Chain A
Amino acid sequence: MTAPMIDVQGLTIRAAGRVLVSDVSFSVAREQTVAIIGASGSGKTLTARALLDLLPTDLSRDAASRIVIEGRDLGTITPAQRPDWRRRTFGVVPTAVQSALDPVRSVREQAQLIAALTPERHDEFEALLATVGLAAPARYLDRYPHQLSGGEAQRVGLALALLRQPQVLLLDELTTALDAISRGALLTTLRRVREQQRTTMLLITHDLDVAFALADTVLTMDAGRMVECAASATLRRAPQSAATQALIAAWPTLDAPAQITTPTTGPPLLRAEALRVRFGAVDALAATSFTLHAGERTAIVGPSGSGKSTLLRALLGLEPRAQGAVWFDGARLGAARSRRWRQQVQWLMQHAGRSLDPRLRVARSLAEARAAHDLTTTPEQVAQSLAAVELDPSIADRYPHELSTGQCQRVAIARALALEPRVLMLDEPLTGLDPVTAAGITRLLARLHARTGVAVVTVLHDLAFAPQVADRVLVLDQGTLVEDAPLATIIAAPTHPVSRQLYDAARAATLSAPSSA
């Protein structure tokens, strides 16, 4: 039995008295793939950084922890030797890779700098770009990170990590912010890469489909502890720990829950006709028409760049270049929406945490929304608002940067609902959230809809979540509305090729699909 590539014993990480990671032990054999899954904040990224010996300066590893990589104990590597050791051993693709790539260097320059660090061996970078699935790789060489899309940035990051043929490939949330189609493609790429390069892979993810599809062994972390470790198939079939069970239960399937059919007869609440947005010579949104009835739940799906957010913003009157007509409650809306209208139609932007003023506490932000419509707010009302979104009243006193992403989402929802709107428009509320948090949000939205009857329009990056939030689906592709059908139709018999593509990707990402070795 050869020595494992990575062997971790009793890893404990502390910060100013708090224990962030507690007694984690695992090992990764050569050429094996191990996935660490868990909710946000469970300590996965910290564990990975500990392997690199790159913990943030205010955190420290316990002396009793032992990390042995390729036979070398981390404790024996002096600070002077560390850069060299990292160079030779690891290839890293961190979370949010787009902001982790050096923003002032072009792709080519970054590759050259990395190659310069290890002069003795580097692959042809352009060939690598092709391997990771970028068509016409030469095009990307002179681009800067801010000129790449999310998917392209992930692939470039992967290519840069593979440049030095590392022993261990460390991938942190590689697929999280991607839509299902891109995710599937990246998965295929990773399999191919693994075959060709025979690297050991450590995957950190909360995308269960990726974990089960790629990994030989899966570890679950929860609140800093390792709660389960088993072979991938075993874990999926028979999860032992509550945390793993919660993750699997939260993972979206395409089975629709009990449908709440809302009457679609009668006058529409919101009607758009020939809504169009042009940026220069390009139609970000081609002439689109559709209607929304009171209490209806609609999802808008489509590949990246298909105009989903643009459609939402045009409906909300936030897109100055929009043309066409919008009616609300039978009355035609002017370009500048009235204050009353703004109260009745609420919007949650992408990354809802950013919509909260960082200088205001939560209670103040909630009160502000109501004050904008000349409504006063008592502390009891604040507590009630927070309770309605299942948040503890002590949250009222916090600043936005002291909240987790999921908590920020809920605060934003609370603020929107505080005005008792008739329509709620959500722009990708689930993107980037771990499955448990995402499931919590969708359940919350379902409960709120049942209680208040508010119409909900949700832009989704993945069709898989549609059954939980909608009865009807609008499919967009490159700015055009290609299909507008009830949820059941989209799932059972999608007519448009793009709808079918979305459905296939979502199906492949469910855990019921057999994993391919």
Chain B
Amino acid sequence: MPPDPATRASPWRDRRLPLGVATLAALAIAGLVVPLFYGIDPNAMPDPVGLAWRAPSAAHWLGTDALGRDVLARLLAGTRVSLGVALLASAVAFVVGTLWGLVAGWRGGIVDTVLMGIVDTLLAIPRVLLLLIILGFWEARSALVVGVILGLTDWMRTSRLVRADVRAARTAPWIVAARAIGASDARILRVHLLPVVLRQAAIAAALAAAHALMLEAGLAAIGLGIAVPQASWGTMLVTAVTEVSFYWWLFAAAAVPLFAASAACVAISDAARTLLDPRAR
């Protein structure tokens, strides 16, 4: 028996979506608004040696780092940077991947072979390796550069997923019917395919953001992160652990928001998967 339309679930009932969005919003707002009130300069080093590695105190709520800088201030600055990088990477991966996969899947034939051949070749190079090589071009890496490069190394997966969806849709019965009714190719693309494509790309974009956040930290760990003295979650994270010491406050300050943002992106991606298919509601 077909389901009763009255029992359609609202998209907001899936708690993952509002939770994820709220988390990201909270982090973004904190990064943008709080520094207006919290006066300490993230790059100020009044006493590099004397104030180094202080645990949280009344003067420095989250302690200080290796050069005596206030961790909370750096955290807030880092929030803007890291979220910005993730957003940029996600946007680049979304746009490039969607267009690439759409063209390849829709045209088929030689166009598809060439486009996907390029994708396959790029995918054959491990992503981190590609990042190593390309990021090596710059001596001083700004957040912008890191964000764009992260995006340019992540679009391939999106394009594959989009292409697969487009190819499957081409033989879907409702597309065949639409052609038989006389709908033009452009119309079919716009009305029937674009929602499918955007769904796939949105899921991938959310994941791309999560990966970008994680990789930013990873790159910092191997010395290819955003150039110092810029603060970001990743650069803060890697300075917190040395051979002999574990500066837990610095680690937590960076790890908690990084983890929360990454988890929020994953949750949004998961929710998007069920959200955009009316049958699953």
A residues at B contact (CB < 8 Å): 16, 18, 20, 41, 316, 318, 339-340, 342-343, 346-347, 349, 351, 354-360, 368-369, 371-373, 397-399, 401-404, 415, 419
Closest to B174 in A: A357
Chain A residues with CB under 8 A of B176: 318, 349, 355
Q: Check B183–A347 contact: CB distance below 8 A.
A: no
24 contacts across the A-B interface (CB closer than 8 A): A16-B7, A41-B1, A318-B180, A339-B182, A340-B182, A342-B182, A343-B182, A346-B180, A347-B177, A349-B176, A351-B173, A354-B173, A356-B174, A357-B192, A358-B174, A368-B178, A369-B183, A372-B182, A372-B187, A397-B5, A401-B2, A401-B278, A402-B3, A415-B181
CA distance A358 to B4 in the complex (A): 16
Q: Closest CB-CB distance, A134 to chain B, in whole Å?
A: 31
Q: Closest CB-CB distance, B176 to chain A, in whole Å?
A: 7
Closest to B195 in A: A359
Closest to B175 in A: A357
Q: Closest CB-CB distance, B65 to chain A, in whole Å?
A: 51
Closest to B191 in A: A368
CA distance A358 to B277 in the complex (A): 9
Q: Which of B1, B4, B180, B191 contacts A342 (CB 8 A)?
A: B180
Q: Check A372–B279 contact: CB distance below 8 A.
A: no
B residues at A contact (CB < 8 Å): 1-5, 7, 173-174, 176-178, 180-184, 187, 191-192, 195-196, 277-279
CA distance A16 to B6 in the complex (A): 12
Chain B residues with CB under 8 A of A398: 5
CA distance A354 to B180 in the complex (A): 14
Q: Closest CB-CB distance, A148 to chain B, in whole Å?
A: 22
Q: Check A373–B1 contact: CB distance below 8 A.
A: no
Chain A residues with CB under 8 A of B196: 359
Q: Check A346–B181 contact: CB distance below 8 A.
A: yes
Q: Closest CB-CB distance, B1 to chain A, in whole Å?
A: 5
Q: Check A355–B182 contact: CB distance below 8 A.
A: no
Q: Which of B178, B181, B279 contacts A358 (CB 8 A)?
A: B279
Chain B residues with CB under 8 A of A16: 7
Given A359-B278, A401-B279, the answer on whether A349 and B173 have CB atoms closer than 8 Å is yes
CA distance A389 to B17 in the complex (A): 40
CA distance A401 to B181 in the complex (A): 21
Closest to A416 in B: B181
CA distance A354 to B176 in the complex (A): 10
Q: Closest CB-CB distance, B198 to chain A, in whole Å?
A: 11
Q: Closest CB-CB distance, B150 to chain A, in whole Å?
A: 32
CA distance A339 to B185 in the complex (A): 12
Given A372-B182, A399-B278, the answer on whether A354 and B174 have CB atoms closer than 8 Å is yes
Chain A residues with CB under 8 A of B174: 354-358
